[in-house]
């Protein structure tokens, strides 16, 4: 924290501008060693915070670039420290030379996520907001972006803080009563506490209920396309992707390995996996492809079972239907533009899942598929007015641990245990919730979280 750090804050690719960010106690001094203003004698150290200045970056009397320099003094900056951002031309070499000059002038290269880590350590943001920064950067669809921005604005922090305040009040009350029983009575208190614990447990359950949706918003719905050879699986993938990504032929067994594509369907991200057609085969390579298809089906969020409506069901379909048990599935009756021999009723009699008539060749049924997926996963639409989405496993685990601790409080009350037992488990829940927002975390965890960030952020 005593070092002054620097990094390129924009992508290292040709662009209109590139930004070199400097943060730390010597940020202004480092920039002043390189910056030459259009106005003779103008120094950044004499300028007001949150101002922009026009000039050049000069190293050893050589002009490196014409720049704009933004000055932000701490604590009113992203990191909470003095920060200078140099906006130079976006050529890769130009940005690289400006960064090298900044390092030569006294800064050191920033580690991945170090700017955001300093923002967290300086109290500018909590840990859930810090994680949301990376989610905003990596958002793959509009819903994921809105969810991340909501968390960046403190939605998770506020929800967790409200629960922690309730628990802390009860902890303090119990401790005070145990220290001063003459003036503070615990008569009838366990019954009152039981109601409070159940109320807070319900709030935690609501947050946990959002975790699966949050994960799918961030990473995409893992969607596995299953079906017999030549059912139209690869044609469906190409249609959804919008280009010829999978080879389509009339030869059965053309797809032998899993082909994965990330697509956006109506603002929802789908991790689409096109798999080998499932059938009995003596071809060793095709057998491996079939086994991989079955493995991916086991942990899929959604299975799209593509059925050739122009061909009767057979033993291969029966084998596929076994894989669908207990899985979210949409039955797609493909080739509905041809003479069909399979009906929707025939399928639903064997598989408890909705049926949709599509034609990959004529590109029909996509809008209905989009609506069906939204209904299946997000009850038709996603609202961000009051919703809080838990988007990573660390936060989900902490919530589960807090819920377990509150369950222990309930057990202690039911067994008429002494009140100090209540306090121990309430404190455990309080600390587990604190780990979500960074109020009870160790240095190793902090380093691990920010080590996943990109350099410059």
pLDDT per residue over 256-307, tens digit each? Answer: 456 778 887 766 778 888 877 776 766 677 677 777 877 888 888 888 888 8
Q: Looking at the structure, tell me whether residues 244 and 367 fall in a common domain.
A: yes
**Contacts for 278-285: CB closer than 8 Å, 24+ residues apart:** 278/226, 278/227, 278/228, 278/316, 278/319, 278/320, 278/323, 279/228, 279/229, 279/252, 279/253, 279/316, 280/315, 280/316, 281/253, 283/253, 285/256
- pTM (whole model) above 0.85: no
Q: Looking at the structure, tell me whether residues 234 and 191 fall in a common domain.
A: no
Q: Looking at the structure, tell me whether residues 358 and 235 fall in a common domain.
A: yes
Greater pLDDT, 99 or 248: 99
Residue 266: inside a domain: yes
Q: Looking at the structure, tell me whether residues 204 and 269 fall in a common domain.
A: no
Q: Quote the tokens at residue 262.
A: 């990330």
Q: Looking at the structure, tell me whether residues 236 and 155 fall in a common domain.
A: no
Q: Looking at the structure, tell me whether residues 225 and 205 fall in a common domain.
A: no
CB 253 within 8 A of CB 283: yes
Q: What is the pLDDT of residues 75-95, one digit of tens each?
A: 999 999 999 999 999 999 999
40 C-beta neighbours (distance < 10 Å), count? 6
Q: Looking at the structure, tell me whether residues 298 and 365 fall in a common domain.
A: yes
Q: Looking at the structure, tell me whether residues 400 and 325 fall in a common domain.
A: no
Nearest residue to 35 via CA among 55, 51, 21: 55
**Is the C-alpha dihedral spanning 401, 407, 411, 416 positive or negative?**
positive
- Residues in Cβ contact with 367 at an 8 Å cutoff, skipping those fewer than 6 apart: none
Residue 455: inside a domain: no
Q: Looking at the structure, tell me whether residues 203 and 229 fall in a common domain.
A: no
Owning domain of residue 239: 220-378
Q: Looking at the structure, tell me whether residues 262 and 361 fall in a common domain.
A: yes
Residue 451: inside a domain: no
Q: Looking at the structure, tell me whether residues 253 and 339 fall in a common domain.
A: yes
Residue 385: inside a domain: no
CATH number for 74: 3.30.1360.120
Cα–Cα distance between 413 and 415 in angstroms, integer? Answer: 5
DSSP state of 44: G
Q: Looking at the structure, tell me whether residues 307 and 424 fall in a common domain.
A: no
Where residue 251 falls among pLDDT bands split at 50, 70, 90? very low
Residue 32: inside a domain: yes
Q: Is the pLDDT of residue 198 over 90?
A: yes
Residue 318: inside a domain: yes
- CB-hemisphere CA count at 13 Å for 110? 30
Say what percent of the chain tops pLDDT 90: 36
Number of domains in the chain: 3
Q: Quote the tokens at residue 303.
A: 């299975």
Q: Is the pLDDT of residue 394 over 80?
A: yes
């Amino acid at each position: 924290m005593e070092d002054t750090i620097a990094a390129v804050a924009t992508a290292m690719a040709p662009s209109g501008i590139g930004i070199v960010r400097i943060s730390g106690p010597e940020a202004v001094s480092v920039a002043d060693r390189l910056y030459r203003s259009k106005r003779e004698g103008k120094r950044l150290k004499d300028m007001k915070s949150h101002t922009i200045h026009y000039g050049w970056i000069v190293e050893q009397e050589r002009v490196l670039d014409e720049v704009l320099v933004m000055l932000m003094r701490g604590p009113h900056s992203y990191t909470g420290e003095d920060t200078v951002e140099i906006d130079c031309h976006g050529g890769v070499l130009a940005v690289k030379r400006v960064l090298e000059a900044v390092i030569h002038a006294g800064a050191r290269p920033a580690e991945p996520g170090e700017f955001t880590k300093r923002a967290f350590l300086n109290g500018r943001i909590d840990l859930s907001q810090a994680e949301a920064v990376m989610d905003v950067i990596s958002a793959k669809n509009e819903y994921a972006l809105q969810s991340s921005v909501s968390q960046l604005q403190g939605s998770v922090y506020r929800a967790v803080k409200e629960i922690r305040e309730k628990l802390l009040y009860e902890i303090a009350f119990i401790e005070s009563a145990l220290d001063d029983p003459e003036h503070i009575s615990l008569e009838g208190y366990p019954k009152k506490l039981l109601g409070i614990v159940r109320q807070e447990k319900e709030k935690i359950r609501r947050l946990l209920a959002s975790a699966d949706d949050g994960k799918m918003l961030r990473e995409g719905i893992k969607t596995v396309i299953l079906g017999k050879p030549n059912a139209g699986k690869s044609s469906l993938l190409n249609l959804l992707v919008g280009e010829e990504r999978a080879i389509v032929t009339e030869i059965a067994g053309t797809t032998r390995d899993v082909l994965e594509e990330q697509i956006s369907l109506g603002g929802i991200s789908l991790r689409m996996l096109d798999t080998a057609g499932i059938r009995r085969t003596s071809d060793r390579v095709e057998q491996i492809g079939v086994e991989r298809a079955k493995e991916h089906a086991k942990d899929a969020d959604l299975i799209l079972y593509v059925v050739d409506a122009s061909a009767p069901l057979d033993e291969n379909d029966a084998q596929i239907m076994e894989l669908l048990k207990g899985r979210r599935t949409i039955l797609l009756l493909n080739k509905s533009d041809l003479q069909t021999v399979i009906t929707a009723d025939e399928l639903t009699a064997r598989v408890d899942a909705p049926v949709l008539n599509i034609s990959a060749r004529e590109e029909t049924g996509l809008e209905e598929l989009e609506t069906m997926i939204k209904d299946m996963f997000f009850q038709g639409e996603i609202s961000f007015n009051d919703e809080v989405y838990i988007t990573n496993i660390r936060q989900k685990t902490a919530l589960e641990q807090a819920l377990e601790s509150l369950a222990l409080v309930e057990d202690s009350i039911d067994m008429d245990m002494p009140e100090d037992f209540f306090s121990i488990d309430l404190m455990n829940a309080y600390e587990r919730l604190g780990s979500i927002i960074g109020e009870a975390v160790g240095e190793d965890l902090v380093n691990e979280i920010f080590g996943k960030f990109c350099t410059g952020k």
